[in-house]
Structure 1
């Protein structure tokens, strides 16, 4: 399996289908019945655990009652497009455009050795392509699936709350000067922290460059984390949001010291840590890790490795919990299927 730097990559193919055609992840995370009812699969019949029409077979990978991946095998690009289009919820009238995108010579050449890429910059789902055989024996394999990031994609940090053994791990990339991050902290965060047996909450620094006090606040919070008091200090930062965020960056550390005292820290050690910028490199490393998992803004929340589109949507959280905690779960099913493209 390899990823390419093609001008027209699989990511562009997906964007052509999702943005130009107006469908993105329409059937991923839907039910198997919803997938089978897609117009692009009209005329397909259930056979041997899949949906078949001629030489094209479409198979759903299902975890927790939801479709987490759609695998297609065909003897033609048009058949490949039907399976991928079903996974994306592409309308019948738009299949020619998707077929044309998938027929790009550079993309087909890359698929000869196996191709896997994220479908767009949000990093929520992926596409895999592979071509085998020659002439009449040519076979086209395709797969669209949710992206489940492994634990190894996230660096270990001390800023966490909840039981280490909790079945659900929330990883939050946040900026202390971001008003939307404060909103999360004041709402959903309270609920998650109130259920430590169910949720492990892990905080990652992602200070945005246009927030002039965000970097300093991030470094200060890491100093608090080093003393095991990240959450109480973060509570102070967000509770006093309107006070310190407008300050000149040179004046903000004095406020941080007061918040550290209120949060029960050793203020002398805290001031030294902040003054020496002890955790500057750690903050930068967390930002780098965030960009590697396609964090584009704050707050960005991952639940059990899957990026949430709306952290406040109870239905979405329930679906993600269902597919990631099922046995086998989404990550296991998707990883096993991707072996075919390596």
Structure 2
């Protein structure tokens, strides 16, 4: 459980229950849709700025989409700050009183004095930043809710790549070879991405789930294939023979994995030595651990240019992620600059 979850769970007991809707319910919408929410009705809009008295709400818009909502309000105007957060989360008016109660709680304010930037919930798709500055009449809330765009540095290293290295869009897939939904992705969406190597660079990250008995060994096998530059060919065979090896006991599955090496055009002797020595175990472990750090909870989990996708089959969602991450400046740059003042 991360620090924000601890803070917000405490907040739930103070009246926030029901307010924690996924932020992307409203983030990544066109700016007009964000402004049209009933929760923001008390504010006067002027472009991407909304005001009420001394409160200012700023919508960060990149690629025509709202990627962040910043509220600057006096300590006594906690309601205004709460309205901004609920607008980012797409939450209804009925949650306002609970969130205001949270902002007015002395314990929460003490935490806010130090400032924090954390993920909103366990999905890791969004961020919330809170900082309370000044004293007395000068005390002000600074609250920011934004899309969480993961930098390349947080993802695990992998040589399991398809597409051109210079492609403008990087798709990262955390996958489990024994996961039927991963097979579905490989057989459908991946076909389209592979057909556009100049547009998409696809990186495969190992995330074998513990309840799939042969998944870890399959991941090791694919890494051994990758060491020979044949990851894609071997993965094709693993998914094509899915119904064959997935129900097998471990010894039989191991025999199958070695047989598939020849089918995929690998040096069978080199492959067998690699698989038998478990020389790729550390790599699989490292990729799994890195996946946990970027809030991967199941498979397949897909990121496009650092944006965690709710539905990788949704063409509009993919187009939106591309638009906000390839714009100049990109959403990652805009959000990163905002967050500097909270750290």
SS in 1 for 2:191: helix
Give yes or no for the alignment of 1:339 onto 2:332. Answer: no
Change (3 A) 1:290 1:19: farther
Give the structure 2 partner of residue 36 of structure 1.
Answer: 35
Task: Report the Cα offset of residue 161 of structure 1.
Answer: 0.6
Give the structure 2 partner of residue 73 of structure 1.
Answer: 72
More helix by share: 2
Within 2, Cα distance between the matches of 1:205 and 1:292?
13
User: Which stretch of the first structure deviates more once superposed, 215-224 or 9-18?
Assistant: 9-18
Matches within 5 A, 1:245-324: 245-324=246-325
SS in 1 for 2:145: strand
Change (3 A) 1:18 1:191: farther
Give the structure 1 partner of residue 18 of structure 2.
Answer: 20
Change (3 A) 1:267 1:14: farther
SS in 2 for 1:20: coil
Task: Report the Cα offset of residue 9 of structure 1.
Answer: 1.3
Within 2, Cα distance between the matches of 1:117 and 1:267?
47
SS in 2 for 1:157: coil
Change (3 A) 1:4 1:210: closer
Within 2, Cα distance between the matches of 1:242 and 1:4?
38
Give the structure 2 partner of residue 240 of structure 1.
Answer: 241
Structure 1 length-normalised TM: 0.94
Give the structure 2 partner of residue 204 of structure 1.
Answer: 205
Within 2, Cα distance between the matches of 1:109 and 1:160?
47
Give the structure 2 partner of residue 46 of structure 1.
Answer: 45
User: Which stretch of the first structure deviates more once superposed, 80-89 or 238-247?
Assistant: 80-89
Within 2, Cα distance between the matches of 1:55 and 1:11?
30
Give the structure 2 partner of residue 160 of structure 1.
Answer: 161
- 1:17–1:90 contact (8 Å) kept in structure 2: no
Per-residue Cα deviation, 1:157-183 (whole angstroms, up to 9, x for no partner): 111110111010000000000001000
- 1:112–1:131 contact (8 Å) kept in structure 2: yes
Task: Report the Cα offset of residue 155 of structure 1.
Answer: 2.1
Q: Which runs of 4+ in 1 moved over 2 A?
A: 3-8, 10-19, 21-26, 46-49, 101-107
- 2:193–2:202 contact (8 Å) kept in structure 1: yes
Give the paired residue count.
340
Within 2, Cα distance between the matches of 1:307 and 1:118?
13
Per-residue Cα deviation, 1:113-156 (whole angstroms, up to 9, x for no partner): 21111000000001000011111111000000000000000122
Change (3 A) 1:13 1:323: farther
Within 1, Cα distance between the matches of 2:19 and 2:2?
24
SS in 2 for 1:61: strand
Within 2, Cα distance between the matches of 1:295 and 1:177?
17
Per-residue Cα deviation, 1:58-80 (whole angstroms, up to 9, x for no partner): 10111110000000000122221
Within 2, Cα distance between the matches of 1:322 and 1:316?
10
- 1:15–1:120 contact (8 Å) kept in structure 2: no
- 2:18–2:95 contact (8 Å) kept in structure 1: no
User: Which stretch of the first structure deviates more once superposed, 26-35 or 196-205?
Assistant: 26-35
Change (3 A) 1:22 1:49: closer
Structure 2 length-normalised TM: 0.94
- 2:16–2:99 contact (8 Å) kept in structure 1: no
